Structure 1
Amino acid sequence: MKTSVATIGKQKYKTEIQAGNHIVIADEPEDVGGGNLGFTPTELLESSLASCTAMTLRMYADRKGWDLEKVEIKVGFKRNMATGEVTFMKEIQLFGNLQPEERERLLEMGSKCPIEKMITGTISVTSYLK
């Protein structure tokens, strides 16, 4: 099992996240007591969905030989505090010389990225102390 490790010290909210050989910083905005040194946890989740979708579309277009020059994915979400329901919104912008049917197929393929499958499936979290 691959793991990501988040480490926080005494510097309020600044968290170092390591996955393999890569490190990113997460933090909270200054207005809630953080140092605004990196992505918020929510931004990391949105970024995971956006980047996975973009990569999925790039892979598919490359495999089909389509003229996809660039993909831009914007992700936001709404949370209903009463029901706990969360809705992610993905705005997909495709650049290149694409036929209408290619654009529609890419829109469809965007929902097949592994992160979207993960967050729309059944999720459970198990926590334990070491």
Structure 2
Amino acid sequence: MTADSTVASANRDVVVHSLTNYASLAVVGGEHTVVIDEPREFDGEGTAPNPFGLVLSALGGCMAGTLRGIARQGGFDYDGATIRLSLRVNRPTSGPLDPGERELRISRIIAQVTVRGDLTAEQQDALRHGIETCPVGNTLRRALTLQESVAFEAAA
């Protein structure tokens, strides 16, 4: 496989439609919808998670699913897990109208994972390894290629 090769993914495409103000509606795989909005302090309505919140949610969901998968694969169980995620950004911003917003990015994500249950040292190691290698985490830790194309249509 070359560096430019891709592998087909079982994940589903997402189509995002703009709504009013800074809100949008993401349709995942044609089946599920997620509203996205900016907080009030950034001129949004605060009706839903902001995009960075969804990035953290995706990472936490991946970690939680990976933990459960490793436990099932290893033939053991645990009582539950709590994954607390926070982020740091590279610069302050006052919201979408701030010119510096175009340079804003997540510079660090902090994940605090608590797994509850009676686990052996080997089981703990397996779960720790899962947290360190979940697919969304792998994506965020390594460089990826983002390809964008923009088309403009005249108003109807």
Return the TM-score normalized by structure 1: 0.88
Q: 1:89, CA displacement in angstroms? A: 1.2
Q: Does 1:15 align with 2:24?
A: yes
Call closer, same or farther: CA 1:37–1:114 in 2, change over 3 Å.
Answer: same
Q: 1:92, CA displacement in angstroms? A: 0.6
Q: Distance in 2 between matches of 1:123 and 1:63?
A: 29
Q: Which structure: larger Rg?
A: 2
Q: Please, which runs of 5 or more residues in structure 2 have no aligned partner?
A: 1-8, 92-102, 152-156
Q: Does 1:32 align with 2:42?
A: yes
Determine which structure has the larger strand proportion and give its number. Answer: 1
1:4 equivalent in structure 2? 14
SS in 2 for 1:123: coil
Q: 1:115, CA displacement in angstroms? A: 0.4
1:95 equivalent in structure 2? 116
How do residues 1-130 of structure 1 correspond to structure 2 at under 5 angstroms?
Answer: 2-9=12-19, 11-20=20-29, 21-81=31-91, 86-130=107-151
Q: Distance in 2 between matches of 1:45 and 1:95?
A: 25
Contact 1:92–1:107 (CA<8 Å) still a contact in 2?
A: no
Q: 1:38, CA displacement in angstroms? A: 0.8
Q: 1:128, CA displacement in angstroms? A: 0.8
Q: Percent same amino acid among aligned pairs?
A: 23
CA deviation vs aligned residue, 1:51-98 (integer Å, no higher than 9, x gap): 10110011101111223121111111223349x772211111101121
Moved over 6 A (4+): none
Return the TM-score normalized by structure 2: 0.74
Amino acid at match of 1:42: F
Q: Please, which runs of 5 or more residues in structure 1 have no aligned partner?
A: none
Amino acid at match of 1:13: Y
2:99 equivalent in structure 1? none
How many residue pairs are counted as aligned between the two chains?
Answer: 128
